[in-house]
Amino acid sequence: MTLARDRTKPALHGGLSTIEYFTFGFGTMIGVGWVVLMDDWLARGGPGGGILGFLIGGLLLFPIAHTYGRLVQRIQDAGAEIAYTEGVFPPLVSFAAGWTMVLSYAIVCPWEAVATGNLLARVFPSLNSYELYAIGGTAIYAPRLAVGLALTALIASVNYRGIKPSGVFQDVMTFGLLATFAIFTVLGFARGSTANMQPLFSQPGALGPWLSIFLVLQIVPYFMTGFESVAKGSEEAKAGFDPRNFTKAIYAALIAGFLFYVIVIAVVTYVYPWREIVSGHVRTEVAFERTFGSHAIAQLILFGAFLSLLKIFNGNFVAATRMLYAIGRRNLVHPSLGRVHAVHGTPTVAISLMAAFTAAAAMFGDAILVPITEVGSLAVGVGWLSACAAYLARRRRDGHAHESATMAIVGCVVSAAIILMKIVPGVPGSFTRAEWIAFVAWSGFGLLFWMLRPRLITKTR
């Protein structure tokens, strides 16, 4: 029995080029961790551990990216992992893969809504006023919440009006970030010193370098999630689009992603003593401001971070709504999620639901969202594993037995390792009680939807 989408319904409109697919893949990956979490990264690995951790981690994800590239060339479906697994695995497996991937994108959206208010409050301290309530000891301020809700409305509006406006928005935000990144990187390498990078690794002893790298490797999947989002927009390519360009966009996004992290860690630790960053919890823009004695360069970095917030919000919003749309189109949840606007060609019900979820979750603030966000690492590991396993299962069935299975096998191993790092007790970075509760709750909702689904469409595609 296979899942099948209803081809009688209006289809999504096209319009995306290779550039847009790159900016969605890269933009869904890079957020503001490079500004607000630099002290944590350096505490884990130091400059050497951080640089090598992201470099090695990025290279380890290449087999997964390669497998997605193969699959999306043959199957252009907004459901991605659902479409890849249907027909070769039981329907419940396809639904579970899709449902967990929805979580990996959806949970990022309220986090970005909250983070935007937090970031702007650094520039405009008056936003830290008019406390509404507190959750987990963290105050929720009316102006900051209003910023997050307004941004949610903006992203939803852009997405409602069509994939092309959303793609143009993504292009502007992504290349704006890269421009600001280039400016402060060049300035940083012109001013700093290698003495600030010593010692290279944070962990002591003979095994210190290896442990430093490992501790950073653990967080790489979370910060590198996004290159596979290219597949979620594959139905919305412009006319005459060469499917091979999907693979090029995925590769380009992955390479640009890990190089971005490698370079930013290098330049920040070159500019400012990294041990002081760790001990004083110094943010990236503060490190540059202290070194240059200029508030302007800090403002430039914060401007780049703001652009980064907008693009990662938009990218994850698009990916989440397309997954919801694909699930609804298959009648696995309420079929209204599969509706497409007759004029704009966008999944309007899925967009409205995602906007409502984002707004509601943002009201809980980062005290609740921080632990829940970690669940995304496990969710994306499940999605990656399902895609790589589906490629292996489809290889002979679809007449591609001549293709090497090595990359997909390695992809399965890497994905399984990511999952194990999150669920095995005692492993640094494994799930806490709060994260288990969040994951079980999401899985429970998914199981409920599965049990209450209108029906499985058994017609083979």
Please report, for the chain, the start and end positions of each structural domain, with discontinuous segments joined by +.
18-452
Exposed/middle/buried for residue 458 (C-beta within 10 Å: 0-12, 13-18, 19+): exposed
pTM of the model: 0.92
Task: Give the per-residue pLDDT at 199.
Answer: 93
Mention the CATH class of domain 18-452. mainly alpha
Residue 444 has φ and ψ, to the nearest 5°, of: -65, -40
Q: What is the mean pLDDT of each run of 10 residues along the chain (461 residues)?
A: 53 91 96 89 94 96 96 94 93 92 91 88 87 85 93 95 94 97 96 93 89 89 91 94 96 97 97 94 93 94 95 96 93 86 92 95 78 79 96 83 86 95 83 87 88 56 41
Q: Where are any strands of DSSP class E within 81-171?
A: 131-135, 138-141
Location of structure tokens 């697919």: 21
Nearest-10 Cα torsion for 251, 255, 257, 262:
170
Query: Could you please report the per-residue DSSP string of 341-392?
Result: -TTT-S-HHHHHHHHHHHHHHHTT-HHHHHHHHTHHHHHHHHHHHHHHHHHH
Task: Give the per-residue pLDDT at 454.
Answer: 57
For residue 187, the tally of other CB atoms under 10 A from its CB is 18
Exposed/middle/buried for residue 334 (C-beta within 10 Å: 0-12, 13-18, 19+): middle
Name the nearest CA neighbour of 108 among 314, 291, 288, 248: 314
Task: Give the per-residue pLDDT at 444.
Answer: 92
How far is the C-alpha of 38 from the C-alpha of 45, rounded, in Å?
A: 11
